[in-house]
Structure 1
């Protein structure tokens, strides 16, 4: 009995359990898979896999089902990518490209991912601390109060008011904004604040020193304000049809703790260049002990695909493209017997689309 054949048996058990959600027996495997050995040999392999912790037998007379260790082995060795159907490709292009705003885009992305996977979909809004400056406007509200409108490269818009001793002239304000928007576009917010302070040391900018200092403080405040981040969720009713009642209550409790979910998926996407998967206890979240989480970061990409038309760029799913500083994440939560290949493909495809949207400035 070879280790390689034994692992082929494990893969077959996982695939059949994902497909049918019923304990898998050796006779069934022998008939459904071309393993090249008898059902008796397969039964011995399954017994060995059970001893090694990859399978478990829920009842004496029943077949086996995968353990967390079995799922982890299976996921780590996924070599095939499930292609999205033409209908799914068209849905991504049609549903998301018609968005009116970043918020609308993320809400649509969550609903779309939930419909593709049949599981809970979670999409986080871009973190302001990781965003870059796209444009700034400063509007006088009264003699001593100014409104700063800051637009980031991810499409987020933040508004902050600050006080000044006196309103600068229209010409002074225009000149200052031309400086900021001309020199500090596509610079991270905190770095942009530092650059503004450095510029203000030049005596030529004495007239806007107070205004510049206030804007620098505003940019730093926006970058620190993680409370403005939002998370969009869809598909909880669909998941209810896949989980047992015993598992549903702790799962729904976990979904209510949005901060916990956000940290889990954010860490998972940052720890993996492509798509990260946490299974059961790996989530370190009590309510997700019988669930798996798939997450991928989206944001600015290191390289653009060349020679591809719009539809090809939208639906590409190959893992070759890595993210540089993902600004947020998109993910799916489902049972441990989820279709991992299909879920990973769907999460990756939506993340790629959101990356394209942000990197091409189409969300603003």
Structure 2
């Protein structure tokens, strides 16, 4: 069991090691922090922390560095997450101003977050599988082409070009729109996909109308499948190379995870959040994902009922209080921004 002063010493070691990149000794702690005890007493506290495997000696020097377990105890005992400065908050709001749609919002979000922290920024797309399809629109273009627009009650809008087998007049387009809408509007995205798949198993299309319905539904199915997919937006991969010295081993598994996305999606999905929606997965806690060299911190955000996460990935030697504060602030701003967009529709 670590004493209260032992936790304070651990905090000092984590803070100094993050700031200096150098192993921390008892003399440095006495000089930098007002403990009011001797260096010998601090050495005793450090010995107890080492017995608990919270700190370790990287080599023969007298200094110590936090272990993955030490970082976990440090994060779990953070008294509070300090808020961002007004300047940092202003920078976030200005960076995200003028976002046009969800894709643009999330791209701007990761760019703002990586500039703010110097880490790899990650944002999950919210899953809209449970969203309801609220509107289907067809806009006729020249020839047999139409734009298929799908809208959900969460504000997700997509549009895609469909090429029909035959030219249709306005009356035929209206009939086509009505039939597709009757089939899908009011259904969830998941139910909509099932209905399209069921329709696809019906007998082969023989009339102009049936062929047109089939062509539009193929496009709609592709869009609805995309609504259901878990995806990530990321920025700041170059920061891994700049901070390669902070990793004990190779950064290749991290680069591979960024490229593949599946691993990060699983990790982000399985991280357990606290009562404030904040989560951290540190070092060897990520071993099952092949990312034992990295730490990930994240915060939940809400996209009109569809929850997802915004996070940061970097070395275990990271500024956890600042990074947690950053993801929390960005997640809250993202929630407000998406809620405002929905209320203005």
CA contact (8 A) 1:269 1:329 kept: no
How far, CA to CA, are the matches of 1:239 and 1:110 in structure 2?
Answer: 15
Name the counterpart of 1:37.
37
Please list, as runs of the form range in 1=range in 2, the aligned pairs for 1:1-364 lying within 5 A after superposition: 3-139=3-139, 148-152=148-152, 153-157=154-158, 159=160, 169=172, 184=186, 188-190=188-190, 222-225=223-226, 229-244=230-245, 246-268=249-271, 274-284=277-287, 287-300=290-303, 325-326=306-307, 328-361=308-341
How far, CA to CA, are the matches of 1:78 and 1:84 in structure 2?
Answer: 16
Cα distance, 1:163 vs structure 2: 8.4
Cα distance change of structure 1 residues 215 and 238 upon mapping to structure 2, 3 Å threshold: same
How far, CA to CA, are the matches of 1:142 and 1:213 in structure 2?
Answer: 20
How far, CA to CA, are the matches of 1:96 and 1:3 in structure 2?
Answer: 44
Q: Deviations over 1:101-139 (max 9, x none)?
A: 322221111111000000111123332324443532145
How far, CA to CA, are the matches of 1:350 and 1:130 in structure 2?
Answer: 25
CA contact (8 A) 1:126 1:154 kept: no
Cα distance change of structure 1 residues 254 and 272 upon mapping to structure 2, 3 Å threshold: farther
SS of 2:311's partner is strand
CA contact (8 A) 1:124 1:231 kept: yes
Cα distance, 1:98 vs structure 2: 1.5
Q: Deviations over 1:156-200 (max 9, x none)?
A: 51548698999875665676788899x83xx7423678999xxxx
| Matched residues, number | 328
How far, CA to CA, are the matches of 2:286 and 2:2 in structure 1?
Answer: 33
Cα distance, 1:13 vs structure 2: 1.2
Q: TM-score, normalised by structure 2?
A: 0.77
Q: Deviations over 1:278-330 (max 9, x none)?
A: 001212356522211012232246xxxxxxxxxxxxxxxxxxxxxx540x321
How far, CA to CA, are the matches of 1:349 and 1:112 in structure 2?
Answer: 11
CA RMSD of aligned residues (A): 3.9
Cα distance change of structure 1 residues 255 and 62 upon mapping to structure 2, 3 Å threshold: farther
How far, CA to CA, are the matches of 1:74 and 1:353 in structure 2?
Answer: 27
Cα distance change of structure 1 residues 248 and 174 upon mapping to structure 2, 3 Å threshold: closer
CA contact (8 A) 2:189 2:228 kept: no
Gaps of 5+ in 1: 197-207, 302-323
How far, CA to CA, are the matches of 1:240 and 1:101 in structure 2?
Answer: 31
Q: TM-score, normalised by structure 1?
A: 0.74
Cα distance change of structure 1 residues 59 and 263 upon mapping to structure 2, 3 Å threshold: same
Cα distance change of structure 1 residues 342 and 156 upon mapping to structure 2, 3 Å threshold: farther
SS of 1:284's partner is helix
CA contact (8 A) 1:148 1:160 kept: yes
**Higher alpha-carbon deviation: 256-265 or 283-292:** 283-292
